[in-house]
A and B are shown apart, each in its own frame.
Chain A
Amino acid sequence: MNSTVSIAIVGSGPAGCYTAQGLRKALPNAQITIYDRLASPFGLVRYGVAPDHQNTKSIQAQFARLFERENVRFAGNLEVGSDVSLKELRSLHNIVVLATGLSRDRALGICGEGLPEVYGAGRLTRLFNAHPLQTVGMPRLGESVAIIGGGNVSIDVLRLLAKQPADFANTDIDDAALAEYMQSPVRHIDFICRSSVANAPSDPVMLAELGRIPGVAFSCLDPFSVPDDASRIAGARAKAIETLLETRGGPDTRVEVSFHFGHAPIQILGDGHVCGVELAATGSQGATNVVVADSVVTAVGFDFDEDDWHGLGPIQANATTGQLGNGLYRTGWVKRGSRGTIAANRACAKSVTEEILRDLPTLDMSTKPGHAGIPWQALAHAVDYDAWKRLDIAESGAAAEGRTRKKFPSHERMVAIANNHLAGALGASEN
Chain B
Amino acid sequence: MKIQVLFGTESGNAEMAAEDIAASVRDGGQEVEIHDLSDFSISELQHDPVYVFICSTYGEGDLPNTALPFFADLSIVGPDLSGMRYAIFGLGDTFYTETYSQGATKLDDKLRALGAERIGEFGRYDASTWEPVGEKAVEWFSGVLTELAVH
Please measure, in the bound complex, the distance between the C-alpha atom of A62 and the C-alpha atom of B132, giving whole angstroms: 9
A233/B59 contact (C-beta < 8 A), A55-B127, A61-B132, A205-B96 known:
yes
Given contacts A55-B128, A58-B127, A58-B130, contact A236 B11 (CB under 8 A): no
Total interface residues on A, using CB and 8 Å? 20
Size bracket, chain B contacts: 10 to 19
Q: Give every chain A residue within 8 A of B93 (Cβ-Cβ).
A: 55
Q: Tell me the nearest residue of chain B to A18, going by C-beta.
A: B12
The yes or no answer to B13 lying at the interface (CB within 8 A) is yes
Q: How far is the CB of B59 from chain A (nearest CB, A)?
A: 7
CA distance A40 to B72 in the complex (A): 41
Tell me the smallest distance from the CB of B24 to a CB of chain A, in Å.
15
Minimum C-beta distance from B102 to chain A (A): 13
Inter-chain contact A346/B11, CB cutoff 8 Å: yes
**Which residues of A lie under 8 Å from residue B10 when comparing CB positions?**
343, 346
Task: Provide the B94-137 mask, 1 if CB < 8 A to any CB of A, else 0.
Answer: 01100000000000000000000000000000011010110000
Contact code string B14-33 (vs A, CB < 8 Å = 1, else 0): 00100000000000000000
Q: Is the CB of B12 within 8 A of A54?
A: no
Q: Are B130 and A54 in contact (CB under 8 A)?
A: yes
A236 touching B60 in the complex, CB below 8 Å, given contacts A55-B95, A205-B95: yes
In the complex, chain B residues whose CB is within 8 Å of the CB of A341: 11
A342, B12: Cα distance in complex, Å: 10
Q: Given the complex of chains A and B, what is the CA–CA distance between A233 and B10 in angstroms?
A: 18
Determine whether A129 belongs to the interface, using a CB cutoff of 8 Å to chain B: no
CB pair B13–A62 under 8 Å, yes or no, is yes
Closest chain B CB from A389 CB (angstroms): 16
In-complex Cβ contact of B16 among A55, A65, A205, A209 (8 A): A65
A65 to B23, CA, bound (A): 14
Q: Is A21 an interface residue (CB 8 A)?
A: yes
User: Which residues in chain A, 331-361, are within 8 Å of chain B measured between CB atoms?
Assistant: 341-343, 346-347
- What separation, in Å, do the CA atoms of A236 and B13 have in the docked complex? 26
Contacts of A204 in B (CB 8 A): 60
Which A residues touch B132, using CB under 8 A?
Answer: 61
Residue with the highest number of chain B CB atoms closer than 10 Å, among A236, A343, A346: A343
Residues of chain B touching chain A, judged by Cβ–Cβ distance below 8 Å, are 9-13, 16, 58-60, 64, 66, 93, 95-96, 127-128, 130, 132-133
